[in-house]
Amino acid sequence: MSPTDQNSQASDLSTTPQTSVEADNESTTHFGYKTIEKDDKISMVAGVFHSVAKQYDVMNDLMSFGIHRLWKRFTIDASGVRPGNKVLDLAGGTGDLTAKFSKLVGREGKVILADINSSMLNVGRDKLRDKGLVQNIEYVQANAEYLPFEENTFDIVTIAFGLRNVTDKDKALRSIYSVLKPGGRLLVLEFSKPEHELLNKAYDFYSFNILPKMGELVAKDGESYQYLAESIRMHPDQETLKDMMEKAGFEQTSFKNLTGGVVALHKGYKF
Protein backbone atom coordinates (compact mmCIF):
# COMPACT_ATOMS: atom_id res chain seq x y z
CA MET A 1 0.00 0.00 0.00
CA SER A 2 1.71 3.15 -1.15
CA PRO A 3 1.39 6.33 0.92
CA THR A 4 -0.12 8.09 -2.09
CA ASP A 5 -3.08 5.73 -1.96
CA GLN A 6 -3.96 6.59 1.64
CA ASN A 7 -5.64 9.95 1.12
CA SER A 8 -7.72 8.73 -1.81
CA GLN A 9 -8.91 5.77 0.21
CA ALA A 10 -9.69 7.92 3.20
CA SER A 11 -11.92 10.12 1.06
CA ASP A 12 -13.71 7.06 -0.31
CA LEU A 13 -14.51 5.51 3.06
CA SER A 14 -18.13 6.55 2.98
CA THR A 15 -18.61 4.34 -0.07
CA THR A 16 -16.51 1.46 1.23
CA PRO A 17 -18.89 -1.20 2.58
CA GLN A 18 -18.17 -2.50 6.04
CA THR A 19 -18.72 -6.21 5.66
CA SER A 20 -18.80 -9.35 7.74
CA VAL A 21 -18.46 -11.75 4.86
CA GLU A 22 -15.42 -12.81 2.97
CA ALA A 23 -14.98 -11.93 -0.70
CA ASP A 24 -17.58 -13.41 -3.04
CA ASN A 25 -15.26 -16.10 -4.34
CA GLU A 26 -15.03 -18.89 -1.76
CA SER A 27 -11.29 -19.18 -2.35
CA THR A 28 -10.60 -15.49 -1.62
CA THR A 29 -10.82 -13.20 1.36
CA HIS A 30 -9.89 -9.69 2.46
CA PHE A 31 -6.52 -8.41 3.60
CA GLY A 32 -7.45 -4.87 4.46
CA TYR A 33 -9.00 -3.54 1.26
CA LYS A 34 -7.19 -6.07 -0.92
CA THR A 35 -8.76 -9.29 -2.16
CA ILE A 36 -6.35 -12.20 -1.76
CA GLU A 37 -6.35 -15.97 -1.76
CA LYS A 38 -7.54 -17.37 1.56
CA ASP A 39 -4.45 -19.56 1.79
CA ASP A 40 -2.26 -16.45 1.75
CA LYS A 41 -3.94 -14.49 4.55
CA ILE A 42 -2.40 -16.29 7.52
CA SER A 43 1.14 -15.66 6.30
CA MET A 44 0.37 -12.04 5.37
CA VAL A 45 -1.19 -11.27 8.76
CA ALA A 46 1.72 -13.07 10.39
CA GLY A 47 4.11 -10.73 8.60
CA VAL A 48 2.28 -7.73 10.03
CA PHE A 49 2.46 -8.96 13.61
CA HIS A 50 6.02 -10.26 13.39
CA SER A 51 6.88 -6.72 12.33
CA VAL A 52 4.97 -4.87 15.06
CA ALA A 53 5.36 -7.26 18.01
CA LYS A 54 8.23 -5.50 19.79
CA GLN A 55 6.56 -2.09 19.63
CA TYR A 56 3.00 -3.39 20.05
CA ASP A 57 2.43 -2.20 23.62
CA VAL A 58 3.99 1.21 22.99
CA MET A 59 1.87 1.70 19.87
CA ASN A 60 -1.29 0.61 21.67
CA ASP A 61 -0.78 3.33 24.25
CA LEU A 62 0.00 5.94 21.60
CA MET A 63 -2.79 4.96 19.20
CA SER A 64 -5.52 4.86 21.82
CA PHE A 65 -4.09 7.56 24.13
CA GLY A 66 -4.04 4.84 26.78
CA ILE A 67 -7.78 4.20 26.57
CA HIS A 68 -7.22 0.56 25.53
CA ARG A 69 -6.46 -0.14 29.19
CA LEU A 70 -9.97 0.99 30.15
CA TRP A 71 -11.53 -1.11 27.39
CA LYS A 72 -9.67 -4.18 28.64
CA ARG A 73 -10.59 -3.43 32.26
CA PHE A 74 -14.24 -3.23 31.22
CA THR A 75 -13.88 -6.61 29.49
CA ILE A 76 -12.45 -8.21 32.63
CA ASP A 77 -15.25 -6.75 34.75
CA ALA A 78 -17.89 -8.00 32.27
CA SER A 79 -16.45 -11.52 32.16
CA GLY A 80 -17.74 -12.59 35.55
CA VAL A 81 -14.46 -14.43 36.15
CA ARG A 82 -14.16 -16.24 39.49
CA PRO A 83 -11.42 -18.05 41.39
CA GLY A 84 -10.83 -21.50 39.94
CA ASN A 85 -12.08 -20.63 36.45
CA LYS A 86 -10.28 -21.79 33.33
CA VAL A 87 -9.86 -18.95 30.83
CA LEU A 88 -8.70 -18.87 27.21
CA ASP A 89 -7.24 -15.50 26.18
CA LEU A 90 -7.37 -16.03 22.43
CA ALA A 91 -5.26 -13.81 20.16
CA GLY A 92 -3.92 -12.70 23.52
CA GLY A 93 -0.84 -11.05 22.06
CA THR A 94 1.29 -9.42 24.71
CA GLY A 95 -0.89 -10.67 27.55
CA ASP A 96 -2.71 -7.67 29.02
CA LEU A 97 -5.90 -9.65 29.68
CA THR A 98 -3.98 -12.76 30.72
CA ALA A 99 -2.15 -10.81 33.43
CA LYS A 100 -5.40 -9.64 34.99
CA PHE A 101 -7.15 -13.00 34.63
CA SER A 102 -4.18 -14.79 36.21
CA LYS A 103 -4.59 -12.82 39.42
CA LEU A 104 -8.36 -13.29 39.51
CA VAL A 105 -8.57 -17.07 38.88
CA GLY A 106 -5.95 -17.76 41.56
CA ARG A 107 -3.89 -20.87 42.17
CA GLU A 108 -6.80 -23.21 41.47
CA GLY A 109 -7.56 -21.59 38.14
CA LYS A 110 -5.73 -21.50 34.82
CA VAL A 111 -5.28 -19.03 31.99
CA ILE A 112 -4.10 -20.04 28.53
CA LEU A 113 -2.61 -17.29 26.42
CA ALA A 114 -3.06 -18.39 22.83
CA ASP A 115 -1.94 -16.59 19.70
CA ILE A 116 -1.29 -17.69 16.13
CA ASN A 117 1.78 -15.44 15.95
CA SER A 118 4.96 -16.71 17.60
CA SER A 119 6.52 -13.24 17.90
CA MET A 120 3.51 -11.87 19.77
CA LEU A 121 3.38 -14.96 21.96
CA ASN A 122 7.06 -14.64 22.85
CA VAL A 123 6.69 -10.96 23.74
CA GLY A 124 3.68 -11.76 25.90
CA ARG A 125 5.41 -14.66 27.66
CA ASP A 126 8.52 -12.60 28.44
CA LYS A 127 6.46 -9.68 29.72
CA LEU A 128 4.33 -11.81 32.03
CA ARG A 129 7.31 -13.75 33.36
CA ASP A 130 9.10 -10.49 34.09
CA LYS A 131 6.06 -9.58 36.22
CA GLY A 132 6.38 -12.86 38.11
CA LEU A 133 3.21 -14.34 36.63
CA VAL A 134 4.20 -17.96 36.08
CA GLN A 135 2.17 -20.34 38.21
CA ASN A 136 -1.20 -20.56 36.44
CA ILE A 137 -0.45 -19.45 32.86
CA GLU A 138 0.20 -21.62 29.82
CA TYR A 139 1.20 -20.50 26.31
CA VAL A 140 -0.17 -22.09 23.16
CA GLN A 141 0.41 -21.14 19.54
CA ALA A 142 -2.99 -21.75 17.97
CA ASN A 143 -5.20 -20.85 15.03
CA ALA A 144 -8.60 -19.60 16.22
CA GLU A 145 -10.31 -21.58 13.46
CA TYR A 146 -8.89 -24.90 14.71
CA LEU A 147 -8.46 -24.64 18.46
CA PRO A 148 -6.36 -27.53 19.84
CA PHE A 149 -8.43 -28.05 22.98
CA GLU A 150 -11.03 -30.58 24.04
CA GLU A 151 -14.69 -29.66 23.91
CA ASN A 152 -16.23 -28.10 27.02
CA THR A 153 -12.88 -26.98 28.47
CA PHE A 154 -13.15 -23.26 29.31
CA ASP A 155 -15.41 -21.17 31.51
CA ILE A 156 -14.49 -18.00 29.63
CA VAL A 157 -12.98 -17.23 26.22
CA THR A 158 -11.89 -13.71 25.33
CA ILE A 159 -10.59 -12.44 22.02
CA ALA A 160 -9.48 -8.81 22.11
CA PHE A 161 -8.59 -6.98 18.90
CA GLY A 162 -7.93 -10.29 17.14
CA LEU A 163 -11.10 -11.50 15.45
CA ARG A 164 -10.82 -9.03 12.58
CA ASN A 165 -7.53 -10.67 11.55
CA VAL A 166 -9.01 -14.19 11.36
CA THR A 167 -9.53 -15.53 7.85
CA ASP A 168 -12.82 -17.36 8.50
CA LYS A 169 -14.53 -15.64 11.41
CA ASP A 170 -17.57 -17.94 11.35
CA LYS A 171 -15.35 -20.99 11.67
CA ALA A 172 -13.47 -19.37 14.54
CA LEU A 173 -16.71 -18.62 16.39
CA ARG A 174 -17.82 -22.24 16.01
CA SER A 175 -14.45 -23.45 17.24
CA ILE A 176 -14.69 -21.18 20.29
CA TYR A 177 -18.22 -22.41 20.97
CA SER A 178 -16.97 -25.99 20.96
CA VAL A 179 -14.27 -25.45 23.59
CA LEU A 180 -16.50 -23.50 25.98
CA LYS A 181 -18.19 -25.35 28.82
CA PRO A 182 -22.00 -25.25 29.02
CA GLY A 183 -22.74 -22.01 30.83
CA GLY A 184 -19.47 -20.53 29.57
CA ARG A 185 -19.22 -17.19 27.87
CA LEU A 186 -17.37 -15.55 25.00
CA LEU A 187 -16.31 -11.90 25.07
CA VAL A 188 -15.16 -10.24 21.85
CA LEU A 189 -13.51 -6.85 22.27
CA GLU A 190 -12.97 -5.29 18.87
CA PHE A 191 -12.92 -2.06 16.93
CA SER A 192 -16.34 -1.39 15.47
CA LYS A 193 -18.48 1.29 13.83
CA PRO A 194 -18.76 4.67 15.58
CA GLU A 195 -22.31 5.62 16.49
CA HIS A 196 -22.18 9.23 15.28
CA GLU A 197 -21.22 10.49 11.84
CA LEU A 198 -18.99 13.31 13.12
CA LEU A 199 -17.02 10.85 15.26
CA ASN A 200 -16.86 8.46 12.31
CA LYS A 201 -15.32 11.12 10.07
CA ALA A 202 -12.80 12.15 12.71
CA TYR A 203 -11.91 8.50 13.27
CA ASP A 204 -11.42 7.97 9.54
CA PHE A 205 -9.10 10.96 9.30
CA TYR A 206 -7.06 9.78 12.27
CA SER A 207 -6.87 6.17 11.04
CA PHE A 208 -5.71 6.94 7.52
CA ASN A 209 -3.69 10.12 7.96
CA ILE A 210 -2.17 9.95 11.45
CA LEU A 211 -1.95 6.26 12.35
CA PRO A 212 0.29 5.07 9.46
CA LYS A 213 2.65 8.01 10.03
CA MET A 214 2.80 7.17 13.73
CA GLY A 215 3.57 3.56 12.81
CA GLU A 216 6.36 4.71 10.52
CA LEU A 217 7.92 6.94 13.15
CA VAL A 218 7.65 4.62 16.17
CA ALA A 219 7.54 1.09 14.77
CA LYS A 220 9.37 1.87 11.48
CA ASP A 221 6.44 0.22 9.67
CA GLY A 222 3.74 2.43 8.21
CA GLU A 223 2.37 -0.28 5.91
CA SER A 224 1.40 -2.60 8.75
CA TYR A 225 -0.58 0.16 10.45
CA GLN A 226 -2.22 1.03 7.14
CA TYR A 227 -3.40 -2.60 7.01
CA LEU A 228 -4.62 -2.43 10.60
CA ALA A 229 -6.71 0.66 9.79
CA GLU A 230 -8.19 -1.05 6.74
CA SER A 231 -8.89 -4.27 8.64
CA ILE A 232 -10.99 -2.31 11.13
CA ARG A 233 -13.16 -0.96 8.32
CA MET A 234 -13.66 -4.44 6.86
CA HIS A 235 -14.66 -5.98 10.19
CA PRO A 236 -18.36 -6.68 10.83
CA ASP A 237 -20.34 -3.90 12.49
CA GLN A 238 -21.99 -4.42 15.86
CA GLU A 239 -25.26 -5.99 14.72
CA THR A 240 -23.61 -8.16 12.08
CA LEU A 241 -21.15 -9.64 14.55
CA LYS A 242 -23.98 -10.28 17.01
CA ASP A 243 -25.83 -12.21 14.28
CA MET A 244 -22.69 -14.20 13.46
CA MET A 245 -22.32 -15.22 17.10
CA GLU A 246 -25.92 -16.40 17.20
CA LYS A 247 -25.46 -18.46 14.03
CA ALA A 248 -22.45 -20.12 15.68
CA GLY A 249 -24.71 -21.23 18.52
CA PHE A 250 -24.29 -18.51 21.15
CA GLU A 251 -27.31 -17.37 23.14
CA GLN A 252 -28.20 -14.24 25.09
CA THR A 253 -25.85 -12.32 22.82
CA SER A 254 -25.38 -8.61 23.44
CA PHE A 255 -22.92 -5.82 22.81
CA LYS A 256 -21.87 -2.65 24.57
CA ASN A 257 -20.45 0.27 22.64
CA LEU A 258 -17.36 1.87 24.17
CA THR A 259 -15.98 5.31 23.27
CA GLY A 260 -18.95 6.05 21.04
CA GLY A 261 -18.75 2.74 19.18
CA VAL A 262 -15.10 3.04 18.20
CA VAL A 263 -14.85 -0.22 20.12
CA ALA A 264 -17.59 -2.69 21.06
CA LEU A 265 -17.64 -5.53 23.56
CA HIS A 266 -19.79 -8.47 22.42
CA LYS A 267 -20.85 -11.19 24.83
CA GLY A 268 -22.52 -14.54 24.21
CA TYR A 269 -23.22 -17.68 26.24
CA LYS A 270 -23.12 -21.39 25.53
CA PHE A 271 -26.02 -23.27 27.14
Binding-site residue set: 94, 115, 143-144
DSSP assignments along the chain, one per residue: --HHHHHHHHHTGGGS---SS--SSTTEEEETTEEEEHHHHHHHHHHHHHHHGGGHHHHHHHHHTTTHHHHHHHHHHHHT--TT-EEEEET-TT-HHHHHHHHHH-TT-EEEEEES-HHHHHHHHHHHHHTT--TTEEEEE--GGG--S-TT-EEEEEEES-GGG-S-HHHHHHHHHHHEEEEEEEEEEEE---SSHHHHHHHHHIIIIIHHHHHHHHSS-HHHHHHHHHHHHHS--HHHHHHHHHHTT-EEEEEEEEGGGTEEEEEEE--
Q: pLDDT 10s per residue in the chain (271 long)?
A: 443 344 433 334 333 444 444 444 578 887 667 776 887 777 777 777 777 777 777 877 888 888 999 999 999 999 999 999 999 999 998 999 999 999 999 999 999 999 999 999 999 999 999 999 989 999 999 999 999 999 999 999 999 999 999 999 999 999 999 999 999 999 999 999 999 999 999 988 988 888 888 888 877 777 887 888 888 888 999 999 999 999 999 999 999 999 999 999 999 999 9
Binding-site residue set for S-adenosyl-L-methionine: 94, 115, 143-144
All domains of the chain in start order, with CATH: 42-270 (3.40.50.150)
